Structure formats: C-alpha cells, structure tokens
Amino acid sequence: MKKIYFASVLAGAMLFATAATATTGEYGNMCAMGQALGQDVETDCAINAAIDGKTYCFGNDSAKTLFMKDPKTNLAKAEANYKSKH
C-alpha cells in the first residue's frame, strides 16, 4: 500500500512542477503561426521563441520555422487576426 501511495504522491509532484514551470506566451498560448494564418491552434508553449521581449508559442517545429522566415510580417498578421477574433 505504501508503494502505491508514494507513486501517487510522486506523480502529483511531477505534474505540479511541470505546470509551475510552463511557459506563458502571447495570444493565450495559441500558435503564433496559426494566428498569422487566421486559425486558433492551442499549444502548451513547449516550442516557443522570444521576439522583442515577448514569448510566442508554436504548435510544432515546422510552424516555428515557417514563422521565423518572416517574423515581422507574420507578427503583424497574427496580431491583426487575434485582435479581430478575441
């Protein structure tokens, strides 16, 4: 019984530690490239980039790579799309 209890406590502590260190980004943690394309794509912000002191989240590495090819234009599109819907 003690082993099961300890495992449960350990798992709970790990979940709390993960949640406590999660990154918070712009657009409510939605994918910045998704926003640039007019889509709401939720992320856990594990893949992110800092631009001008702000953190932007991405749904996957491909989205980040595409976004970073022209961040200025993509940020303008993302900002406009996000403001129009939220």
Cα–Cα distance, 56 to 48 (Å, whole number): 5
Q: What is the pTM (predicted TM-score) of this model?
A: 0.74
35 HSE (CA, 13 A, CB side) = 29
Per-residue tens of pLDDT for the chain, all 86 residues: 455 544 444 444 444 444 445 789 999 999 999 999 999 999 999 999 999 999 999 999 999 999 999 999 999 999 999 999 99
Record the tokens describing residue 23, joined without a space: 């990154």
Distance CA 28, CA 33 (A): 13
